[in-house]
Amino acid sequence: MAIIENISEALNQQRLYVRLGILLGIIVIMCGVFWYFFWSPKTEELKSARNELQKNEAKLREYEAIAKELPRFEQEFKKLNREFEEAVRKLPKEKEIPSLIDGIYAAVSASGLESNTFAPMPEVKKDIYAEIPIDMKVYGTYHDLARFFDRVSKLPRIVNIRNLNLSQDKKKSSGEKIVLSAAFTPVTFRLLPPQPIQPDTKRKKATKKTEPKE
């Protein structure tokens, strides 16, 4: 108490402007202490909270946009699923491949074509299906070829014609009858059975190596 009384007495002895200056200094110091210990941390927290709020609002707008498009995505998915199922039904099963190849060969003679080459080639495996190509070379008129391609297109299974190469066979052509030599590759497909997921043994070994020793 004596110290406070001495300070009060000393201040009373000072001029008014000195006392006002000291009071102003005390106020400035108190404001600085308040800002440093109370206001500044709260300001940073408020700024961080605002940034987090803006991020959450942006995510909310994104989710709302996705929600609006969800019915369309569901319809599109159902459509693609139906198309996939329809395509799968048109893919021959493995046991149907020989009869399908016989059907393609029968379409050659039925269309009036002469077969020079008919050689099924090894299948080519892709991700979920396998391609089964046939090396073919036939002779006939343009209309004969058109009938053949029409018959192939009406087969119950999918058959694509690739690498079509046409040329006139001058030896077989006579007068107004133009005979064409056609080399092409009919390709059919079959769906591969789903493969079991193999465990990642390399990753397990690496995990065991990195385990700390006791």
Taking only the tens place, the pLDDT of each residue in 13-60 is 666 666 667 677 777 777 777 766 666 676 777 777 788 888 888 888
Closest by CA position to 188, among listed 85, 102, 82, 79: 102
Q: Which two tokens stand for residue 162?
A: 């690739």
Say what the pLDDT of residue 54 is. Answer: 85
Q: Structural domain tally of the chain?
A: 1
Which of 4-8, 95-99, 153-157 shows the lowest per-residue confidence on average (mean pLDDT)? 4-8
Q: Name beta bridge partners: 168.
A: 180
Let me know if residue 171 belongs to a domain.
Answer: yes
Of the two residues 92 and 106, the one the predictor is more confident about is: 106
Say what the pLDDT of residue 97 is. Answer: 77
Using CB atoms within 10 Å of the CB of residue 148, give its burial: 0 to 12 exposed, 13 to 18 middle, 19+ buried: buried
Taking only the tens place, the pLDDT of each residue in 124-143 is 888 778 888 999 999 999 99
Say what the pLDDT of residue 133 is. Answer: 92
Residue 126: CB partners within 8 Å, gap ≥ 6?
Answer: none
3-class state of residue 46 by DSSP: helix
Taking CA atoms, 208 is separated from 121, 197, 198, 202, 203, in Å, by 46, 21, 18, 10, 9
Q: Name beta bridge partners: 135.
A: 119
* Domain containing residue 120: 94-191
Say what the pLDDT of residue 183 is. Answer: 94
Let me know if residue 207 belongs to a domain.
Answer: no
Let me know if residue 168 belongs to a domain.
Answer: yes
DSSP state of 159: E
Closest by CA position to 188, among listed 112, 90, 108: 90
Dist. CA 52–CA 58, nearest whole Å:
10
When pLDDT is averaged across residues 62-87 and rounded to a whole number, the result is 78
In this predicted structure, the answer to whether residue 74 has a pLDDT above a threshold of 50 is yes
Say what the pLDDT of residue 214 is. Answer: 45
3-class state of residue 14 by DSSP: coil
Let me know if residue 73 belongs to a domain.
Answer: no
Say what the pLDDT of residue 39 is. Answer: 67
CATH code of residue 140? 3.30.70.60
Let me know if residue 110 belongs to a domain.
Answer: yes
Let me know if residue 47 belongs to a domain.
Answer: no
Let me know if residue 109 belongs to a domain.
Answer: yes
Let me know if residue 174 belongs to a domain.
Answer: yes
Say what the pLDDT of residue 189 is. Answer: 83
Residue 85: CB partners within 8 Å, gap ≥ 6?
Answer: none
Dist. CA 13–CA 24, nearest whole Å:
18
In this predicted structure, the answer to whether residue 165 has a pLDDT above a threshold of 90 is yes
Q: What is the mean pLDDT of the chain?
A: 78
